[in-house]
Structure 1
Amino acid sequence: MTELTCIVCPVGCRLKVEQGKEGLKIIGNGCRRGVAYARDEMTAPKRMLTAVVQVAGSERMLPVKTETAIPKAKIYAAMEEIKAITVSPPVMIGQVIKENLAESGVPLVATGTIAGEGCFKPLEKSLGSE
């Protein structure tokens, strides 16, 4: 018997999954989504992946994530690809950074914005002075 904590919603139901002759027996779910989660977790586990990539010419990092969950078995390969990525500004939130990450069929997208050169104007007067 395998014990899981459902992560589909904040309730976090404790699931017990048993493989039988007639398929999976799932108990402890509070809703149908828990059954689907347990089935997927037992047959083809997937995870959302979040990370940061380098920004050319900056110490700042750009946060990124997979657009949808990728197979758990591909996470290591995906992280190796992400480590090699350097983006050049400007980058907008939601922009695809890499198509087909780790041959998963899932794109890597920016979850932050990095402005290009000339987008920052110096303050003309300091705060508190008039």
Structure 2
Amino acid sequence: MEETKIICIGCPKGCNIAISHEGKTIENIDGYGCKNGLDYAQNEFTAPKRTVTSTVRIKSGELPVISVKTRDAILKNKIFECMFEINKIEIEAPIKLGTVIKANIAQTGVDLISTETIDRI
């Protein structure tokens, strides 16, 4: 049996979690201090996800770029594909907070949204 150790980021406690497994099959999880820790360990081991944050070029705006993020976390193995698509985007001002910049970014089922408002100049 193998063991993978992770530090939980589900709450401020930062529990040291040990996942005992055979290949990708979890046999036991120890060291979590709450249900969030258990859920985090299971998800992080089987299908790790991350929220992607970045910027997109904007034309005619008060600033040259606007901050964006994925509405929800995406699978970790899709991050580079997501960033490749983000780097090709250029939008026109004005943009309001929460505007969908690209629906279904990188075929993840998750939208890319603006995290600020940029007015037109």
- Select the structure of larger CA radius of gyration: 1
Which runs of 5 or more residues in structure 2 are unaligned? none
Tell me if structure 1 keeps the 8 A contact 2:19–2:26: no
Query: Which amino acid is the alignment partner of residue 16 of structure 1?
Result: A
The percent of aligned pairs where both chains have the same amino acid is 40
| CA deviations over 1:38-76 (Å, ceiling 9, x no partner) | 111111111111001111145521000000000011000
The aligned counterpart of 2:8 is 6
Task: Give the Cα separation in 1 of the matches to 2:103 and 2:87.
Answer: 15
The alignment covers a number of residue pairs equal to: 117
Task: Give the Cα separation in 2 of the matches to 1:33 and 1:16.
Answer: 15
Tell me if structure 2 keeps the 8 A contact 1:48–1:66: yes
Query: Which amino acid is the alignment partner of residue 8 of structure 1?
Result: G
- Give the aligned CA root-mean-square deviation in angstroms: 1.7
Task: Give the Cα separation in 1 of the matches to 2:27 and 2:97.
Answer: 40
TM-score of the pair, normalised by structure 2: 0.89
After TM superposition, give the deviation of residue 95 of structure 1 in Å: 0.7
Whether 1:107 and 2:111 are equivalent positions in the alignment is yes
Whose strand fraction is larger, Structure 1's or Structure 2's? Answer: 2
The aligned counterpart of 2:43 is 40
After TM superposition, give the deviation of residue 116 of structure 1 in Å: 2.0
Task: Give the Cα separation in 2 of the matches to 1:86 and 1:68.
Answer: 22
Out of 78, 85, 89, the residue aligned to residue 85 of structure 1 is 89
Aligned structure 1 segments of 4 or more residues deviating by more than 6 angstroms: none
After TM superposition, give the deviation of residue 8 of structure 1 in Å: 1.5
1:92 match: secondary structure:
coil
The aligned counterpart of 2:70 is 66
Which runs of 5 or more residues in structure 1 are unaligned? 118-130
Task: Give the Cα separation in 2 of the matches to 1:24 and 1:94.
Answer: 41
2:54 match: secondary structure:
strand
Task: Give the Cα separation in 1 of the matches to 2:43 and 2:27.
Answer: 11
After TM superposition, give the deviation of residue 7 of structure 1 in Å: 1.3
